[in-house]
Amino acid sequence: MTEPTLLIVFVAALVTALATGLGALPLLAVRSMSGRALAWGNALAAGLMLAASVTLVMEGFELSGPRTIGGIVLGVVAIWLVKKLLDRRGEVSLGDLQGADAAKVLMIMGVMTAHSAAEGIGVGVAFGGGRPLGDLITLAIALHNVPEGLAIALIMVPRGASVAKAGWWAVVSSLPQPLLAVPAFLFVLYFEPVLPVGLGLAAGAMLWMIFSELLPEAQEEAESSSIGVIVTLAFAAMMAATLLLG
């Protein structure tokens, strides 16, 4: 097996980013969503994101518990400030989306972009440990990114975005992966200490999004019991996938 090169690292991280767009494909079968179906979609996205955040924290703790915790706090503060900024701006637009829908999509995009930045550093650091480790981490992240793309699509499509646009924005949210993987590979000794902070930051932002936005909105349109079942099953499925890839 050849040693990792800059091109190999970049292409590997680009593959993980493109895999995120595949998550939007299941919504091609959905033409419209009722209020209850939207609530279930929010619950499914919340469960997937909850499992992703737990995985990020576990990975961060293996590197540095204190830095991971610091990242979690930083992530919560950052996403809270973004929310306050969007509220002050009043009417927000993103393509065809307007108002509260656009604001929610912008926040989920910011959360997933922070997540992708941490994963991009992870890919670069992994390749710094050799080609076999880099290939394994790339495969794991690529497969892991598909349900994360689904989480993004579940937020965007019911609010008026097309499946193609949702897939495109899912890929855009993952572009930090190829952009940061190469620098992290080149300067692994400098990026490795930052990795647990990035993992914690992404987890903290996702946890805020789950409990502040997705679940309260879901409970407006569906029973708490059904929301709980969907969140739990989505969490279990995502954790099972993580276990199989580990």
Q: What are the pLDDT digits (tens) for 156-214?
A: 887 777 888 888 988 988 899 999 999 988 888 788 888 999 999 989 988 998 998 88
- For 197, the domain range is 6-27+34-245
What tokens does 6 get?
């800059």
Domain contains 1: no
Q: What pLDDT was estimated at residue 93? A: 58
In the chain, % of residues over pLDDT 70: 91
Q: What pLDDT was estimated at residue 246? A: 62
- Residue, of 38 and 15, whose pLDDT is higher: 15
Domains in the chain, number: 1
Amino acid occupying residue 185: F
Average pLDDT of the segment spanning 101-115: 77
Contact (Cβ atoms closer than 8 angstroms) between residue 60 and residue 203: yes
Contact (Cβ atoms closer than 8 angstroms) between residue 44 and residue 154: yes
Q: What pLDDT was estimated at residue 138? A: 87
Q: Considering the chain, what is the average pLDDT of its residues?
A: 84
- Residue, of 235 and 88, whose pLDDT is higher: 235
Residue-wise pLDDT tens digits, 68-83: 999 999 999 988 887 7
Rounded CA-CA distance 155/110 in Å is: 13
Q: Is 33 exposed, middle or buried (0-12, 13-18, 19+ CB in 10 A)?
A: middle
Domain contains 79: yes
Domain contains 98: yes
Q: What pLDDT was estimated at residue 65? A: 94
Domain contains 232: yes
Residue-wise pLDDT tens digits, 218-227: 898 889 899 9
Place of tokens 């992708």: 116
Q: Which of 46, 45, 52 is nearest to 151 (CA)?
A: 45
Measured N-to-C along each axis, helices 163-173 and 131-156 cross at an angle, to the nearest 10 degrees, of 140
What tokens does 152 get?
């993004």
Give the 3-state secondary structure of the chain: CCCCCHHHHHHHHHHHHHHHHHHHHHHHHCCCCCHHHHHHHHHHHHHHHHHHHHHHHHHHHHHCHHHHHHHHHHHHHHHHHHHHHHHHHCCCEECCEEHHHHHHHHHHHHHHHHHHHHHHHHHHHHHHCCHHHHHHHHHHHHHHHHHHHHHHHHHHHHHCCCHHHHHHHHHHHCCHHHHHHHHHHHCHHHHHHHHHHHHHHHHHHHHHHHHHHHHHHHHHHCCHHHHHHHHHHHHHHHHHHHHHHC
- Does the pLDDT at position 61 exceed 90? yes
Residue-wise pLDDT tens digits, 109-166: 788 888 888 888 888 888 887 888 888 888 888 887 888 888 888 888 877 778 888 8
pLDDT band at 31 (very low <50, low <70, confident <90, very high): low
